[in-house]
A and B are shown apart, each in its own frame.
Chain A
């Protein structure tokens, strides 16, 4: 117990004698002590409310990013890319004479299974609203129609009937006109939701306000203890010192959790999901271009609408300034996927060269040779070149998704216990204030 020099100079006996009359006299010291007690308790509880709210806000935003929005965005991306791949797989299957190969069939069925379960997953999550919900409805409605038409196409194809190609055209039109556009819109919407949630989880304004308030509370505690030193003969009030210490702990804990989670989230995005998104865009564009290559050969009527589409897709893909591959390379720089994306750029260029050779064959009456190149696995075959590119994209997505998966959960767990801790700290602060002041008030009895 520390005893300060008595500076007030008031006789203790006189104070005790007047206490009943002066209990409500707020101008006198005991009344002021009561006021201070009430004020400090209120302040501590208010701080508790604010700090808990802040912790809860960031914790749920981080958890939403990691557990919900990221998952929805990933599901939407999976739906989009699996549909695009299914479209490509069927085009490849129909390009080859005879029944489809086991490999293409497996690719198609696993794509459709993955897309279907993705649609179910996203629907079950219930976090999809607005136009994205309409897109989801379109997907759920037309995917069964698409698979049925592909089934009709295959059945007729196996009988040697040209009707199979007509069903493929119809199914392909449905895929391009409805399914892929809806999947693309859904993915864009989910990606925007993810960005918004992420901005909320890493946003600075609320945490700054809270920390400033925390410092202000600390200042008020300091002022209170200065005032007490003037009113009582103690240099320090142990209760207030304890409250201040608890305040410092909760402020530092909150700030540390925020900074840790923010850095984890930003890193998970920069080194994980941003690359995954950029590479996924490039991968889907490449798949659509590849389907165009097959469809041009299947259509075989000299109409060049699919080839025009191929040219547009290949320009969007790049490499070159402002292209998807350039974007993917920028996003992947310094991540595990970096070298793979660099390889993808050169593989894309090689594929386009093989594609040009394929078109030259087809345009000069060598349709069978062009088909062989599209389906081939040889060094100069367009089919093999596309497979290399597709493998690059798959590997890049896989490695950077792993980065995200290992980094992002830390962001959500950084807030573990912070809400409870801030509430507990605030209650203890209030208790410490009551304890510290009630001892001083008791001295006036």
Chain B
């Protein structure tokens, strides 16, 4: 697990003038891949790859999110506990060959409509955000959506973006108001009861963002009794409130992550805690902050889709697999996350 702790050495180059030059640098993603591989093995060893593609038993996913908070060795213990019933990182349906819009499939319905409807974030820098200069939504998540649109239409622009807030992600999918959600959305056992996810397309980890002059360089452990911001209804709120320090940390909830950065800049909170993917996007907007502390949680990101359309889930997984093998994923990663590039997560499927 030295790979995990080595993430602390991540350096961030920030230029406020170019979103694209601010990066998340370090061996982290590769380490995450190794961790994932280990996790997959652990899952196999536990013999828990459920025959049903959609595990329904409630899972103590909190274990994966909080138990290993101090150690930074979350993958092993988290997976081992959660694996008893559900493995978020290997929960999706395997593709049936290369992406193909088969007759009568949900993809055919989308194609008939003329555009893909995607629920996305509009305020998470580098993953899904509305660029105020040209009014377009862009980022790493958005590139995943564009790959899906390209596979259906041959045109990555045939997408209707619906900006949704964190707490509307599940309902947007279950109500059918969007075909797919790409929204720095962690695959969890709870969420798997309501929606289907694609295979993991990005491995994030919960950490902490503090101002440069803050003393809490060891993360939440140094923030006892202080206020820490997270978005309303996010899992990060639980991570913050249940962190074992005395006095307890107070979670301040805001609709968007950028709202948290406003509070941090106004000294109304001592830190922001959530996935590093999001925190690096915030740090890129304020060079006088830094991401610190051990990895608190594993946050494997997946694209969320309705349970009504397993054919679409398999199709999207085929698109991701193709994207990851033909260099599309790495191009996006280099553009939005780290110019040094990384190896894409190795997909694991439940069936």
B129 engages A162 (CB within 8 Å): yes
Q: Which residue of A lies closest to B256 (CB)?
A: A166
| Interface assignment of A21: CB less than 8 Å from any CB of chain B | no
CB of B258 within 8 A of CB of A165, answer yes
Do A302 and B133 form a contact, CB below 8 Å, given A160-B19, A365-B117?
no
Residue B165 interfacial (CB < 8 Å): yes
A302-B164, A303-B165 given; A165·B117 CB < 8 A: no
Q: B168 near A301 (CB under 8 angstroms)?
A: yes
Q: Is B326 an interface residue (CB 8 A)?
A: no
Query: In the complex, A170 Cα to B129 Cα: how many Å?
Result: 18
Q: With an 8 A cutoff between CB atoms, is A163 at the interface?
A: yes
Q: How far is the CA of A365 from the CA of B115 in the complex (A)?
A: 10
Chain A nearest CB, measured from B269 CB (Å): 13
Chain A residues within 8 Å of B130, by CB: 162, 165, 300
What's the least CB distance linking A144 to chain B, in Å?
14
Whether A163 contacts B258 in the complex (CB less than 8 A), given A156-B285, A301-B122, comes out as: yes
Interface residues on A, range: 20 to 34
Q: A160-B19, A162-B123 are in contact. Are A302 and B262 (CB under 8 A)?
A: no
Q: For residue B163, which residue of chain A has the nearest CB?
A: A300
From A164, A170, A371, residue with most partner B Cβ within 10 Å:
A170
Q: Would you call B337 an interface residue if the criterion is a C-beta within 8 Å of the partner chain's C-beta atoms?
A: no
* Band of interface residues on B: 20 to 34
CB interface residues, A 365-383, toward B, < 8 Å: 365, 367-368, 371
Cβ A301 vs Cβ B164 within 8 A? yes
Bound Cα distance A94, B130 (Å) = 12
- Find residues 93-127 in chain B having any chain A CB closer than 8 Å to their own CB: 115, 117, 122-125
- Among B121-176, those with CB < 8 Å from A are 122-125, 129-135, 160-165, 168, 172
B165-A301 in contact (CB<8A): yes
Smallest Cβ-Cβ distance to A368: which chain B residue? B135
Contact with B132, one of A152, A160, A300, A368 (Cβ below 8 angstroms): A160
Residue of A nearest to B171 (CB): A302
Are the C-beta atoms of B115 and A166 separated by less than 8 Å? no
Asked if A314 is at the interface of the complex by the 8 Å CB criterion, the answer is no
Answer yes or no: B324 CB below 8 A from chain A CBs: no
Q: Report the Cα distance A160→B15, complex, angstroms.
A: 11
Q: Is B286's beta carbon under 8 Å from chain A?
A: yes
In A275-310, the 8 Å CB interface with B consists of 300-303
Which B residue sits closest to A99, measured CB to CB? Answer: B133
Name 7 extra pairs, CB < 8 A, besides A97-B132, A166-B262, A302-B163: A156-B285, A159-B16, A160-B132, A166-B259, A169-B255, A169-B259, A365-B115
